[in-house]
Amino acid sequence: MSNKVFFNGNICSVEDVKIPVSDSGFLYGAGVFETMRSLNGVVFAVKDHLDRLFFSLDCLKFNHGLQREEVIENIYKVVDANHLLDSRIRLTVTNGPLILTEEPSPTIIITATDFQPYPDEYYENGIKTIVTNNRLNPHSPTTHFKTTSYLERLAAMNEARGKGAAEAIWFTTDNKLAQGSMSNLFIVKDSVIYTPPIETPVLAGIARERVLKIAMDRNMQIKEDILFIKDLLEADEVFLTNVIMEVMPVNSVERHTIGSGVCGPVAKELLQLYREHMQQECKER
């Protein structure tokens, strides 16, 4: 059976999607996207995702004409059309054809596929990471946004996979610790949880914000602080977050072993709490 997708106002088979050759997202990467997760047929943190999406569209001055409630309705249409309970959802919005017009004409695609979790051994033993030579530019107009211009990040991920690693860690052009190619980053030192502040810059990750809230509710010590390579290598624990990987422990950075080389106690506790939090939020629509 063909997957069903939402494309420019309609639910259709994936084979019926035809993106115009003049689309600015296709030609120049002029698009933004959200990757979401549904559990029990409920989309986790959907309002947070749309807050970020609409903030990005407005800041990047997309002429989109989208309505929030209609987008949520269409996300659920795709999930239901594919008969999915636990799924991975991708919402993509481009700025449409490169034609000057007052009428908004974005390309909107929503897909949903069966959720494929990371292997259990990743959460038990942690993952290997590398440090990419690519750098985040604090002055770039797209740095804070989840845009479809992803070639640099994909190149870093290919480099990581070529070295047997699962993620690539990024620093800024002024050598501040930032994030992973597809994740936010946390370190633990002397029982204090540190993460780079949004202004570093890093992406305002949905899982990042939920993990911070969960940790604060548990009275864990948290600091959003400027970090450097020394902080990363001297950490007792390192873990990554996004809505797909949840809370992912890191066992090594390049050839350097982090902590005991397996999932540490803080990451283990936060992973359990995060999953309980997600289950609670996704009990019913």
Q: Are 39 and 86 in contact (CB under 8 A)?
A: yes
Q: What is the pLDDT of residue 102?
A: 65
pLDDT band at 98 (very low <50, low <70, confident <90, very high): confident
Mean pLDDT, range 214-240, rounded to an integer: 98
Q: Do residues 48 and 159 share a domain?
A: no
Mean pLDDT, range 209-220, rounded to an integer: 98
Q: Do residues 110 and 141 share a domain?
A: no
Mean pLDDT, range 87-106, rounded to an integer: 87
pLDDT band at 55 (very low <50, low <70, confident <90, very high): very high
pLDDT at 2 over 80: no
Q: Which amino acid is at 198?
A: I
Domain boundary among 45, 80, 114: 114
- Other CB atoms within 10 A of residue 68 CB: 13
pLDDT at 104 over 90: no
- Other CB atoms within 10 A of residue 118 CB: 13
Percent of the chain scoring above 70 in pLDDT:
98
Q: Do residues 83 and 147 share a domain?
A: no
Q: Which helix (DSSP H) or strand (DSSP E) does residue 72 occupy?
A: helix 68-81
Q: What is the pLDDT of residue 100?
A: 65
Mean pLDDT, range 142-150, rounded to an integer: 94
Q: Do residues 146 and 93 share a domain?
A: no
Domain interval for residue 191? 120-281
Non-local (6+) Cβ contacts of 122 within 8 A are 166, 248, 249
Q: What is the pLDDT of residue 19?
A: 94
Mean pLDDT, range 61-73, rounded to an integer: 95
Q: Do residues 37 and 161 share a domain?
A: no
**Tally of domains within the chain:** 2
Q: What is the pLDDT of residue 285?
A: 79
Domain boundary among 59, 85, 114: 114
The pLDDT tens digits of the residues spanning 10-47 come to: 999 999 999 999 999 999 999 999 999 999 999 999 99
Q: Are 248 and 270 in contact (CB under 8 A)?
A: no
pLDDT at 112 over 80: yes
The pLDDT tens digits of the residues spanning 161-171 come to: 999 999 999 99
Side-chain half-sphere of 108: how many Cα atoms within 13 Å? 22
Burial track 26-56 (b if 16+ CB lie within 10 A, e otherwise): beeebbbbbbbbbbebbbbbbebbbebbbeb
Domain boundary among 81, 114, 147: 114
Q: Do residues 128 and 89 share a domain?
A: no
Q: What is the pLDDT of residue 248?
A: 98
Q: Do residues 271 and 134 share a domain?
A: yes
- State residue 23 phi and psi, 5-degree precision: -65, 130
Query: CATH no. for residue 170?
Result: 3.20.10.10
Query: CATH no. for residue 95?
Result: 3.30.470.10
Angle at 121 between CA 116 and CA 124, to 5 degrees: 120
Q: Do residues 152 and 30 share a domain?
A: no
